[in-house]
Amino acid sequence: MRLKLVPEKTNIDFFRAQFVTFGVSVVMVIASILLVFTMGLNLGIDFRGGTTIRTESTSPVDVATYRAALAGLDMGDISITEVFDPSFRPDQHVTQIRIEAAQGAEAVSPEGIATVEAAMEAVDPAIKFTSVESVGPKVSSELITQALLAIAAGSLGILLYVWMRFEWQFAVGTVAALLHDVIVTVGIFSLLQLKFDLTIVAALLTILGYSVNDTVVIFDRLRENLAKYKQMPLREMMNLTANETLSRTIMTATTTFIALMVLFIWGGDVIRGFVFAMLFGVVIGTYSTLYVAKNIVLFLGVDRSEKPKKERGTPSEYAHLDN
């Protein structure tokens, strides 16, 4: 007995509610952009500069005590959050301290970090500083540029490759779907105010790669079908293609989702944000493959006039199938 998430033969009309689904996508993209501009992103020190200190102690953490210990230091804005994770030992109490970068200053001075560490040690002798990170504003502004550039270059590279391999309509559809995925993921990070740092950018790029993978597989099949069924209307053919590849789409999404879910649960709190972004990306990427990329291609239309190179009729490579 086989586990089958998708029945052997499906006949779903992916365009039946196309105005609803496409409309939802458009609304989500606009909402995400609005969110980023109104609520902003909870930028990590990679992009905003400043210092984070991760502390670990065997004695229970009282954030108020820590806060009181640091209040008198005149270090600017300090925030302390306690970190929980199922993988921690019972006597492992972790907090994350964040010190904002002073205006126009270089990375927080070593004396500053030493002062904070000394103050913490005074209230909790068992405390250890398991990670200390400081980023100066010069680097953080470069990292922002770098991140935007990476996403732009990634999209452009994909656009060019898909254009080269398929028609330009496919390339536009693919990239629109990718940007949709990336923008909505960023929107979720803004909505939930999750920490947005350099690793999230890596996650976004992975979403880019995953989503394009998904879309290209369907387009590849579509291209094959375009050659096979000359007379079928484009809309019907897209449905046929999506149904033919649906089993694979869901199968791959599920294995990737499983792997990511495992990482999300057991991979530790350090990379949880990173994994969350990808987890969300797999879901939205699968959705956009089925409901965004194709719609745009359908909207743009495909030039189905005969190419001089190609033979008329059924391509010969399929002729022997019935033997």
By the rule CB under 8 A, 47 interacts with another protein: no
**Tokens 């809309």 correspond to what residue?**
235
| Residue choice 82, 100, 121, 133 for contact with another protein (CB under 8 A) | 133
By the rule CB under 8 A, 201 interacts with another protein: yes
Contact 199, 273 (CB under 8 A): yes
By the rule CB under 8 A, 228 interacts with another protein: no
**Residue 308 burial (10 A CB sphere; 0-12, 13-18, 19+):** exposed
Residues 160-189 that bind another protein (CB under 8 A): 161-162, 165
Residues 280-309 that bind another protein (CB under 8 A): none
Residues 97-116 that bind another protein (CB under 8 A): 106-107, 110, 113-114
Q: Look up residue 256 and give its two tokens.
A: 């990737």
Residues 58-87 that bind another protein (CB under 8 A): 87
**Of 58-66, 118-126, 263-271, 303-311, which segment contacts another protein by CB under 8 A?**
263-271
| Residue choice 129, 232, 235, 243 for contact with another protein (CB under 8 A) | 129
Residue 38 or 323 having the CB closest to another protein: 323
With vertex at residue 125, the alpha carbon angle to CA 122 and CA 126, rounded to the nearest 5 degrees, is 150
| Residue choice 28, 31, 54, 227 for contact with another protein (CB under 8 A) | 54
DSSP helix/strand/coil, 81: strand
Q: Look up residue 192 and give its two tokens.
A: 């939930």
**Of 33-41, 64-72, 235-243, 254-262, which segment contacts another protein by CB under 8 A?**
254-262
Closest CA to 157 of 207, 204, 202, 212: 212
Q: Look up residue 95 and give its two tokens.
A: 């907090």
Q: How many residues bind another protein (CB under 8 A)?
A: 77
**Of 23-31, 141-149, 289-297, 301-309, which segment contacts another protein by CB under 8 A?**
141-149
Distances in whole angstroms, Cα of residue 79 to Cα of each of 51, 71, 202, 309: 11, 10, 26, 66
By the rule CB under 8 A, 8 interacts with another protein: yes
* Residue 244 CB, nearest approach to another protein (Å): 7
Closest CA to 275 of 194, 169, 221, 214: 194
* Residue 9 CB, nearest approach to another protein (Å): 9
Q: How far apart are the first and last CA of the chain?
A: 29
By the rule CB under 8 A, 263 interacts with another protein: yes
For residue 7, report the phi and psi dihedrals to the nearest 5 degrees. Answer: -60, 160
